[in-house]
Each structure stands twice: as structure tokens, then as C-alpha cells.
Structure 1
Amino acid sequence: MRDLAARYRGRTVIRGVSFVLRAGERLALTGANGSGKTTTLRMLAGLVAPVAGSGHVLGADVRRFRAIPRGRIGYMPQTIGLYPELDVWTNLLFRARVLGLADPAGVVARALDSHGLGDHARTRVGHLSGGWARRAQWVASVLHRPPLLLLDEPTAGLDSATHGEFRSWLDRFAADGHAIVLITHNAVDLATCDRVLHFRDGRADPV
């Protein structure tokens, strides 16, 4: 990315943002609320169009944001993006089918088991505690093993044990060659990243 800029409701919210991310690397975005971190993440996900700058996401021109291959991106928003009235199994099975995965039920069953969610498979997402809901959201974001993973405050509010599990999952993803961009204020998470960009008033400086 080079000199990216974006506007929201008529206001420039990021300007001059530049960085490079390679396979297997982790990039952290940090800074005050409203400084442009989430807008940058949403631009990489193909949800916001830049108004200036250039770059590529998985080979697609970021300026043609609708051409960004979203099926090859995992996006975990800060708020839970699953259907609260449906149970965990149904949410994940629906996601697997939308992604066109072979053997969607098998993929979901293995993912539930490997992330300790088996006992909560038939629990409605709206009835889960915050930590279990974020665990389910993580699984939904990585079912298709995306080469690019975008995470907005993935460990916020988690207890230390669950936080440690999330870090181990991130370690394995990076070791397998997946690129990761995460928004975080957690010092432990920041220390695991290859690079850190600090956002302030829409600009990002390397730390």
C-alpha cells in the first residue's frame, strides 16, 4: 500500500498510509479510537474504497475494491458478526456453504473440535458469553484457511487463558504462511508482530 487515503461521511479519515505485508508476516495497527485503524482494515477487506493512493490486496488493485477476492480473506470484526438467534453449528455451516467449501459439515465439525467449541455447538450465539462468542467468530473467520486474515481487536476483553489460545492460533496461522493484519492495544499482541503502525489523526507511522 502506498499513500492510501479514505473518506467517511465527507471527512478524510486516513491519509498517506503506506506499508508492505508479506506471506507469514503480522502487522499490527494501534492508536487512539477514531484514528483510522478500522477504516484501513475495511479497505483491505474490500468494504471501503480509497479516494487516493495505490496498492494491491492478493494481486487485486485496491482502487478496484470490488475486485478484491473476499473469498480469500478472513475478516473478524470487533463486534460479533454471527446471527445471534442461530446456534453456533448453524452459523458456521452456513458460512462454510457460502464459502463453497467441500464437505462443509466435516469442516465445521473439525473446527469446533479443534477450538474447544464442541459443547457449545447447539448453543445460540446470542446466549454465549463474550469470550465464547469471540471464539465462534474466530472460527467463522478462518474456516476457509484464508491467505490474508484481518482482525479488529480479536483479544479485547478475553481472560488470560483464552487470550493465550488466540495467540497460539495466530502463531500457527503465521507459521503456515498466512498474512495477518490486526488492530490491537495489547502489549503482548504487539510484541508478536513483525511490524507496528501507530495511527494518529488518520496518519500511520512505523513504531
Structure 2
Amino acid sequence: MLHAETGIDTTELALKARRLREVGLFVRETRSPNSPRATHRQVANLIVMILSDAPALYAERTIARAEAMRNMDLKHARQNEDAGPEFAVFKREDASFVDVLADLIQKASDNPDWFAHAYRNTYIEFEPLSFRALVDLDVIGPGPMGGRRIFAATLNFADHTNELTSSAPQSFRRTTRIDAPLLRAIGAEFARQDG
């Protein structure tokens, strides 16, 4: 599914997954029909490897950096009275980029069709050279005139534990973007496996 949605070669995806598996960050499959399946967080780890464009050899270091990325500005969170505990991870100061990505995958797998509608304007941008991410959340709920905003926030993630975080010159920066349909497709795959 990731190959179909991203166009990334299956050999490269398999290598990144294997390196994650070797350091305990991805599921260890067996040939049994009862083989364990990847968790939402493990798939988030694989997506971080794809976004960062890091060599598979650096899987452990790459995920450690992504887990150290924190939202730098919570002032931009905008919500109405319907923004209940299901949005808690987006409001937490200690939530990492991996936490937020895993939570979005969880929400997409709980109800892919609802996610496709409610989160349709949500997107993620990642800049691998400076190791920064932006998560633009825009969640629309049911209501008159086709719905109303339940929750909106712009989360800016950076890893300030690393001296090289902001060393990439502006002219060399390149951003990769994930839109809601990719997250919905991942969620739909989880939902299909759950029956």
C-alpha cells in the first residue's frame, strides 16, 4: 500500500522496515497466520524513515531524533467546545512528532471514511535537512452547512537537542508533504486487516 501511494520502490521500503526491525522499532513477522502485525507507532516509524530520506543503516538514530522533536508553538491551537480528549495528543507540550503521526494513523484506522472527510484539509510537511516538521490540523465535524471546525492547530516540530537542526541553508531546503488521503489509505489498510 505504501508503494502504491508513494511510488517508493518496495525494495527500499522493505530495507527500511528491516533496519527498523533489527533495532526493535518495527514488527518482527513470521510465516505463521498468527504473525504479529505492525502497530500504529511502528508504521509511524516507517513513515518517518521515508520522510527523512535517511539511509536504512541510521534507522535507530533517525527515530530517536524524531522522538526528540517537540512542538515549538502551542499558541496557534484553535478549537471550539467540541474539541474533547480525542485531541489531547495535539495539545500536549511533551508530544513528539512520532506521537502525533501515530495518533493520526490511529484515528484514520478507527474510521477511514470519517477521517477522509473530517481531516481532508490536514497535511504534514517535513524538511529532512533541518529535521523540522509542520502538522497542519484542520478537523471538520458534522453540523449545518456541511460541518464546522472542531479542531485546528498548526504544530511546528523541531529537534533542539541536535546542534545541526537549523544548519541547512534555506536555498538547500526541500520539503516533503503528506496529505490526508495517504493517512486515510494507511488507516483503511489497518481497518481491512481488523476485518
Same fold (TM over 0.5): no
Report which of the two has the higher share of strand.
Answer: 1
- RCO higher in structure (CA 8 A, sep ≥6): 1
| TM-score normalised per structure 2 | 0.25
